[in-house]
Amino acid sequence: MSERISVFFEQALNIKPISQLECIQCKHKLERPYKEKEYVNKAVDDKCPKCQSPMYVKAIYVYPQPKQF
């Protein structure tokens, strides 16, 4: 297997999704690594660092990787 295709497999299989959380009170947003079984609109245990109110998952995404292949 060529080096280029092995790099492709490594990049494609090891994605690092991000969960964007939003405070339900002050709408403060923060990003942290995605945790298993999280989904958009799910209430999470994290507290808002500004007002200590509950937060929910506003979006889940990955940062675009530079296309090398």
Task: Say how far apart CA 8 and CA 47 lie, in whole Å.
Answer: 37
Q: How many residues bind other proteins (CB under 8 A)?
A: 28
**Shortest Å, Cβ 10 to other proteins:** 11
List 25, 29, 32, 42, residue binding other proteins (CB under 8 A): 42
The b/e string for 1-17 (b: 16+ C-beta within 10 A; e otherwise) is eeeeeeeeeeeeeeeee
Return residues touching other proteins (CB under 8 A).
1-2, 5, 8-9, 12-13, 15, 17-18, 20, 34, 36-37, 39-43, 56, 58-64, 69
